[in-house]
Amino acid sequence: MSRTLDSARIRDLEGPQEEDGPARGGDIAARLHAFRSLGGNCEFGFVQRYGGAEPSGLLRFSYTPLPDLIHALDTDLSEFGAPGDLHLAEAESGTYYCASRRYGIWSNTAQTVGAVDPAALLEREYGRVAHLKRRMLEELGQGSKILVRKVGSADDPADLERLVRAIRRHGPSRLLRVAAAGPDWKPEPARWVGDGILEGHVRRFAPQEEAWDVDLEPWLLLCDSAERLCRGQSPEPVRPSALPVRTFPGLRAHTARGAEISSFRQDCDARALPHGPVHTFSAWIWLPKSFAGEALFAAIDYERLACTGADLARRGAWQRIWVSARIPDERERIRIGLVARAPRGQRFWSTGWRLDEGPLPPPDPEPGIRPATGLGSWLARLRGRARGRI
């Protein structure tokens, strides 16, 4: 199985990490600090990042086969990071992975081949593993974290039972087993299925080689539910709160200008925005049946965490698209808006532009207006040109 990831998307995988505890940017960011990934791939690490949390974790951005994980826990991770255990491997994406010869654990270093001295990087990885291994063993002994492992039809039920026993060797940690429900997913709370064992579902998992492609909303709802359940509260999933920052009302008509990519954006003053929490820009769009574009998505400058782009198969109806990002500290202005890959003259409409503080856009009723067509569409475009909007 390939272990590569898009290097542009895993930039600073193990970047500045926060201490466990309350996090800026809303309750969900603080709740995500209660979880630790048990590997599988990097997806849950990105879930935490997109939710506004950057906790440390030995296996947060690691590929860890289930039998190897069980063996590592059964042996107290004793040989992980021992002299001669770690080595670097070059991935197809052009980044270095750090692999354990003893346990089959592959961790993405987020360092580009040729941009760093391999010997220095390997020395750093030995130090990182030693520090985070001690911390993981302490957390396992205390049972202080909710451990997360994705499960699928290929996983042996006997191995899952062995995993629970391996965890219990160390302490009373809770285990959240996550399965993919498919397109029929609906928000449901996590549930206890055994002593200290929780189960829950998301709609889909990210592709193995594109772990950054997270379906964020189901994950955040499930994590909120599981954390509440472990604290004895109602486990009904609660959507993360969003703080309105600015809204841009009105219907807008857009026409692709002929370049491969057409941008329809608006400047915003970023100086008053908090630069720690995640912000989300969202808009409603309407694609006519004749739309021949290849993609349509929301943008906050060139920054992006999670996003939902346009469903190009959905025509003649409103649909909502959005993108989340952190605002860089040095940025005084940001540009928010829409980007289309479409031939010259292709038209679509948008409304309900809004910028909110939070990892997901807040609930918003579908617009009650319909775009003008025919002569009305021509007049709308003429007015839009006069206002510099299209």
Helix (H) or strand (E) holding 91: none
| Backbone torsion region of residue 168, taken as left when φ is above 0, otherwise alpha when ψ lies between -120 and 50, otherwise beta | alpha
**pLDDT higher than 70, residue 119:** yes
**What was the pLDDT predicted at 2?**
34
**What was the pLDDT predicted at 193?**
95
- Dihedral angle over CA of 82, 83, 86, 88, nearest 10: 160
Cβ distance 63 to 45 under 8 Å? Answer: no
Distance CA 236, CA 227 (A): 11
Distance CA 336, CA 227 (A): 33
- The better pLDDT of the pair 284, 155 is held by 284
User: Does 259 share its domain with 154?
Assistant: no
For residue 385, what pLDDT band results from cuts at 50, 70 and 90?
Answer: low
User: Does 31 share its domain with 156?
Assistant: yes
User: Does 282 share its domain with 369?
Assistant: yes
Q: What is the 3-state secondary structure (H, E, C) of 92-156?
A: CCCEEEEEECCCCCEEEEEEECCCCCHHHHHHHHHHHHHHHHHHHHHHHHHCCCEEEEECCCCCC
pLDDT tens digits for range 95-116: 999 999 999 999 999 899 999 9
Q: The domain spanning residue 383 has which CATH number?
A: 2.60.120
For residue 376, what pLDDT band results from cuts at 50, 70 and 90?
Answer: low
Give the SS3 label for residue 70.
Answer: helix
Q: Which of 203, 230, 257 is the last residue of a domain?
A: 230
Q: Is residue 20 part of a domain?
A: no
**pLDDT higher than 70, residue 261:** yes
For residue 377, what pLDDT band results from cuts at 50, 70 and 90?
Answer: low
User: Does 199 share its domain with 291?
Assistant: no
Lowest mean pLDDT among 18-27, 166-175, 210-219: 18-27
Q: How many domains does the chain have?
A: 2
User: Does 162 share its domain with 289?
Assistant: no
The closest of 183, 178, 260, 259 to 220, measured between CA atoms, is 178
For residue 330, what pLDDT band results from cuts at 50, 70 and 90?
Answer: confident
**What was the pLDDT predicted at 368?**
93
Cβ distance 212 to 10 under 8 Å? Answer: yes
Structure tokens at 215: 């379906």
User: Does 63 share its domain with 184?
Assistant: yes
In 288-327 the beta strands, taken as DSSP E runs, fall at: 295-300, 307-308, 318-326
- The better pLDDT of the pair 386, 97 is held by 97
**Residue ranges making up the domain that contains 334:** 243-387
pLDDT tens digits for range 226-236: 999 999 998 98
**pLDDT higher than 50, residue 85:** yes
Query: Average per-residue pLDDT in the chain?
Result: 89
For residue 18, what pLDDT band results from cuts at 50, 70 and 90?
Answer: very low
For residue 209, what pLDDT band results from cuts at 50, 70 and 90?
Answer: confident
For residue 383, what pLDDT band results from cuts at 50, 70 and 90?
Answer: low
User: Does 144 share its domain with 249?
Assistant: no
User: Does 371 share its domain with 271?
Assistant: yes
